[in-house]
Amino acid sequence: MNYLLRATFPSSNLITKATNAKGDEVSLSTYSKRFYFTVDSTYISTIELLENQSQILELVITAFDKVVYVCLVPLEDRSSMPAISALELRPFAVGMYPRVDSGMLKLSITTYFLTVARLNFGGDMQLRYPVDKYDRIWAPAKIPSGEKQFSSRTNVSRVHVPLNAEIDIPDEVMSTAWVATQMENNVTFEVNLTGVRAMRAVPSFYFSLLFYDMLETANNTRFVNIYLDDDEQMARAQTPD
């Protein structure tokens, strides 16, 4: 079964009950701010605590047993002090995220996706539970200042997305959009990969782009070309009715 696993880490300024040689309480910044995060003995990422800012690490994992083991591992020289503020585990419906399920065919101990970004185009606020029954966090995507090729639409009529076991997206997410101001214009966005530390030196990245045609056209068909770093990934992708 697949689960959403979300870990929240404190800022490095957190005062701990640990004491120094004099018996004084110290902040985490006294120690190395880096440690390892593992799930079922699988290395996931190296966490580096930030000053004055908490951070979230989110995974989609497949559990092969009744217990999932999460471990914070100090650096090899024991100079760091691992710290975590919250840990959440939420089950997904059967059939969601089938790419993760495929890892079972390889007899992997743990298969996972590390979430880099989950963006809500056209939305003006963060969405999560109860809008998303799985409590996935949908962050509003921001249009760059001065952008004229496309605009944000938040006032479209409410869309009801047909049930799809592999996706199960909230209607509120699909009821907003970025829309090109003219037919020939491009809609572009960036995903910041800075700080993504995966198990492999060159990790694989998966993009899920969700389209829903809310505007009628002459032949009820709309096509888009999808590019990634100027390389064409899909030509004349058809949006659903």
pLDDT tens, residue order, the chain (241 aa): 889 999 999 988 776 666 555 666 666 666 778 899 999 888 888 888 888 889 999 999 988 788 899 999 988 777 778 889 999 999 998 778 877 665 545 544 447 888 889 999 988 899 999 999 999 999 999 888 778 888 887 766 666 666 665 678 888 888 888 888 887 788 888 888 776 655 455 567 788 888 776 666 666 666 778 888 877 776 555 555 5
Contact 169, 210 (CB under 8 A): yes
What residues have CB less than 8 Å from 111, skipping those under 6 apart? 61, 62, 100, 101, 102, 103, 104
Structure tokens at 2: 């697949």
Chain CA centroid to CA 135, Å:
12
What pLDDT, on a 0 to 100 scale, did the predictor assign at position 85? Answer: 93
Contact 177, 156 (CB under 8 A): yes
CA–CA distance, 179 with 149 (Å, rounded to integer): 9
The radius of gyration computed from the CA coordinates of the chain, to the nearest angstrom, equals: 21
Q: What pTM was estimated for this model as a whole?
A: 0.79
Q: What is the dihedral of CA 144, 60, 177, 54, to 10 degrees?
A: -40
Residue ranges of the domains in the chain? Answer: 1-17+25-117, 120-190
What pLDDT, on a 0 to 100 scale, did the predictor assign at position 87? Answer: 97
What pLDDT, on a 0 to 100 scale, did the predictor assign at position 162? Answer: 66
Report the amino acid identity of residue 31.
Y
Structure tokens at 97: 């995220």
